[in-house]
Amino acid sequence: MAAFHEAEAGIKYARNSKPNLILMDVMLPGLSGAEAVKILKSDPQLKSIPVIFLTALVSGQDEGLKGINVSGLHYQTLGKPYEIEELLKLVKDVLDRG
């Protein structure tokens, strides 16, 4: 497991280590999380890695939102703050579908 504060470093890591899952914040310095995921999904070797966005951008009215579709790419979202049990369940669900 690795953590990065900038999308570019996370992209480089993903290319080198091919993780099973990526947790991505939406608001990052430099490239946004959405921009980073579009780069990852355009890479044939990385496009199948599932992504969970962790974001403070999900409003109260969107709390039932489980996934979004942007430019034909599917993501899971989890609004902040979240309970660790909620994150662990989502990670398990995403990996089980894998």
User: pLDDT digit string (tens) for 15-28?
Assistant: 999 999 999 887 88
pLDDT above 60: residue 72 = no
Kindly indicate the confidence band of residue 82, based on its pLDDT and cuts at 50, 70 and 90: confident
- Report pTM: 0.77
CB-side exposure of 53: number of CA atoms within 13 Å? 26
In this predicted structure, what is the pLDDT of residue 62? 43
Q: Does residue 79 surpass a pLDDT of 90?
A: no
Q: Tell whether omega for the bond before 44 is within 30 degrees of 0, i.e. cis.
A: no
Amino acid at site 5: H
Rounded to whole angstroms, how far apart are CA atoms 63 and 93?
A: 18
